[in-house]
Amino acid sequence: MNILSPSILAADFSKLGEQIRLVDEAGAEYIHIDVMDGLFVPSISFGFPIIQSIRPITQRFLDVHLMISEPERYIDQFAEVGSNSLTIHVEACRCMIDTLLKIKGKGMKTGIALHPQTPIEAIYPYLEYVDQVLVMTVNTGFGGQKYLDSCTQKITAVRKEIDRRGLKVDVAVDGGVNLQNVEMILNAGANVIVSGSAVFKGDIKKNVAEFMKRL
């Protein structure tokens, strides 16, 4: 199943609740939330209060992407505020398997992400422990960037490896995804589409509908 996960990093924060309701009503299955700490990546974004405030206004799946150092320190809090999944970076965590098991133990789905510069093989040892792989296709930490064509081969490679092992693991793609390249990304092997600017700029419901036609 193909899934759209609008990234609220591109939303108008003064209208965040309203815009989340719009993507919800339009049929987007996930809400993607980028948490950045200013250390692992240069930017700072959302924390626990934002997720806690979103949870009551939508029943959609809260797809939380942790771009933070030492994510293992905060798993309990992310579970408490209503996260449905936590995706952690292979570059950020020293005890990857223990952290993934702790996330599962809190009733959340697990994901693993990697920077564009990191070889895709770096995540292969952990595929049996995750529900989702997140392939970053822009330099991590900033919205509104152009899709890096060199990352397409990573999408294909990880999908082939997942299928070879007979696993049920989603392949998500985040960064520069728009209506012009989404079909190419799906054909490469992705099934979860994270998009920010292409959803939240302009007519949100229309943008979601156009994405859904292509999924």
Q: What is the C-alpha separation between 4 and 29, in angstroms, rounded? A: 6
User: Catalytic annotation on 98?
Assistant: no
Q: In the structure encoding, which two tokens stand for residue 164, read together?
A: 């070879």
Q: How many angstroms separate the CA atoms of 168 and 191, rounded?
A: 12
Could you tell me where the beta strands, DSSP code E, fall in the chain? 3-6, 30-36, 61-67, 85-89, 109-114, 132-136, 170-174, 192-195
Strand partners, 85: 63, 109
How far apart are the C-alpha atoms of 174 and 172, rounded to whole Å? 7
Q: Is 34 a catalytic residue?
A: yes
User: Which one from 37, 63, 131, 174 is the annotated catalytic residue?
Assistant: 174
Please give the torsion angle defined by the CA atoms of residues 75, 140, 194 and 29, in that order, rounded to the nearest 10 degrees: 20
In angstroms, the CA 47 to CA 27 distance is 25
Rounded CA-CA distance 85/106 in Å is: 10
Which of 34, 37, 63, 131 is catalytic? The answer is 34
Measured distance CA(6)–CA(30) in Å, rounded:
7
* Beta-bridge partners for 88: 66, 112
Active site residues: 34, 174
